[in-house]
Amino acid sequence: MNLPKILGVIPSRYASTRLAGKPLLDICGKPMVEHVYRRAVASGVFFRVVIATDDERIYSAAEKFGGDVLMTKADHPDGSSRVAEVARSIDADYVINIQGDEPMLDPRMLRELAEGIVSDPGADSATVCVPIKDDKDFFNPNIVKVVTDQRGRALYFSRSPIPFMRNDTECPMWEHLGIYAFTKEFLLKFVELPPTPLMQAESLEQLRILEHGYTMAVIATKYPSLGPNVNTEEDLQEVRRILAEEKEKNKPQ
């Protein structure tokens, strides 16, 4: 598919409640943000990938590895707002918010997401999901579930197990993965929308889109990340282990 102008933005902040300086944590000789940036570029989806930060240390690190980086305001309430600040001044048709804590992001998933929103012209936004195969995951409040309509658009997201299986009817269970695409026009509108009750109850930012009556396409990806998001020291060690093994396996014999 020939894609229109799609901007990729990686919001990157130094402060973290669990892992201080997360974007700059070393993973096999590179800061985490560099891994994310290079995987985004490798997707071939974007005419430009930008790291958006309010921290001089991240800015300097990105410049050092040749990343396209822009300084933003410090007082953004969330990553989407930081992404919108960057997108506002760049000519683009679509914008993808790329999470900065996914150093094992599969570039092919970004292409699926991009093609998904472009092929659904009525969608204001889009995201991705994967099947839930384990009941433990289905009942885990840290794993966000999504249900969709017949067109593949989101009806609801929840930390609770949805749909509730009252009978033995076969019904797919989907885990939501937190990466988002927007039309640029809608992104700028979205960040101005006031918070909503369900968004606050579930602590899920994407519910603000649905509660205000806008649409989100949900694409079932064949290419989920190859390792965990880095939120804890355990996640970090696991990613380091996987990438070190991958590097060793690909070393010339």
What is the set of domains in the chain, with CATH numbers? Answer: 6-249 (3.90.550.10)
Give the whole-angstrom CA distance, residue 123 versus residue 102. 25
Look up the pTM and report it: 0.93
By DSSP bridging, strand 69-71 and strand 48-53 are parallel
Helix ranges (DSSP H) in 123-183: 135-138
Q: Are 7 and 48 in contact (CB under 8 A)?
A: yes
DSSP category for residue 147? E
Alpha helix (H) residue ranges in the chain? 32-42, 56-64, 79-88, 107-118, 135-138, 184-190, 197-202, 207-211, 233-249
CA distance 122 to 182: 11
Selection from 190, 177, 184, 139 nearest residue 161 by Cα: 139
Tell me, what's the pLDDT at 80? 94
- The per-residue pLDDT string of the chain (253 residues; one tens digit each, 9 = 90 and over) reads 788 999 999 999 998 777 889 999 999 999 999 999 999 999 999 999 999 999 999 999 999 999 999 999 999 989 899 999 999 999 999 999 999 999 999 999 999 999 999 999 899 999 999 999 999 999 999 999 999 999 999 999 999 999 998 887 788 999 999 999 999 999 999 999 999 999 999 999 999 999 999 999 999 999 998 888 898 899 999 999 999 988 777 776 6
Nearest to 84 by CA among 206, 192, 176, 175: 192
**200 in Cβ contact with 211 (< 8 Å):** no
- Helix (H, G, I), strand (E, B), or coil: what is residue 62? helix
Element counts in the chain: helices (H) and strands (E): 9, 11
pLDDT of residue 72: 96
DSSP 13-25: -S--SSSTTGGG-
Q: Residue 87 and residue 191: Cα distance in Å, rounded?
A: 12
The pLDDT score that the predictor gives to residue 168 is 78
Q: What is the 3-state secondary structure (H, E, C) of 92-126?
A: CCEEEECCCCCCCCCHHHHHHHHHHHHCCCCCCEE
Quote the pLDDT of residue 253: 61
How is the chain split among helix, strand and coil, in percent rounded to 5? 35, 20, 45
